[in-house]
Amino acid sequence: MSDWYNTLHAHHLRERFQRFNEIEWSPEPREDVYFTEREPAEAAVLVPLVARETGLHVLLTQRTAHLNDHAGQISFPGGRCEPEDGTPIETALRETEEETGLMRRHIEVLGTLPIYRTATNFLVTPVVALVQPHFELKPDAFEVEEVFEVPLAFLMNPANHQKQVLQTPKGPRSYFAMPYQQQSKTYFIWGATATMLRNVYHFLAAER
């Protein structure tokens, strides 16, 4: 179907995740990356799909500029797995509530995508979920500069997936970027967040 991403609705997402093991697809191939020497750590993020009247929107956060790690970058809510969490899903729900104030009663978990290994050696489980509207957000002012939404149709359109190259001391590193213009501001979605969105794209686009 042409422009299939414009037809995505909550019931389509539920149906696809119910058939997750039946759908043949492959995650985005990894480029050569430069990992830190520290031990890998498990983490999880929530990929929140907000069911608006105009269609599904992806809820994202922009980190504050003073943080030591990934300052100012755009990311999904989430973080490191703690022993008391028990599962990556619980980590994603806990971190989302702590970072944004989005309560789990508004969240319907659909499933998880394959673990994504970041350049800083985090093993991240993306947890995809539907979010019902009429929720109240209370972002953590220390960690979160802004919470905003991007139409899922924009992020699932491959025409908006840019391949760029970053020059590093260890050589060039390629990455995906999905710049999104909203009024006078451009949100530069890139790196791990953009690649995980590419994996959502690969899964939803498979067998269409």
CATH number at residue 150: 3.90.79.10
**What is the pLDDT at residue 183?**
85
Cβ neighbours around 39 below 10 Å, total = 6
Which residue ranges of the chain lie beneath pLDDT 50? 1, 71
pLDDT at 29: 84
Q: Which of 30, 28, 27 is nearest to 173 (CA)?
A: 30
Residue type, 204: L
Span 129-142, pLDDT tens digits:
999 999 999 999 88
pLDDT value at position 174? 84
Pairing of strands 185-187, 180-182: antiparallel
* CA–CA gap between residue 78 and residue 177 (Å, rounded): 20
Q: How many domains does the chain have?
A: 1
125-141: burial string, b at 16+ Cβ within 10 Å, e else: bbbbbbbeeebeeebee
Residue type, 83: P
The domain of 182 spans 4-205
How many DSSP H helices and E strands does the chain contain? 4, 12
Would you say 127 and 176 are in contact if contact means Cβ atoms under 8 Å apart? Answer: no
CA end-to-end span of the chain, whole Å?
A: 7
Give pLDDT, residue 68. 53
In this prediction, residue 166 carries a pLDDT of 81
Q: What pLDDT, on the 0 to 100 scale, is given for residue 67?
A: 56
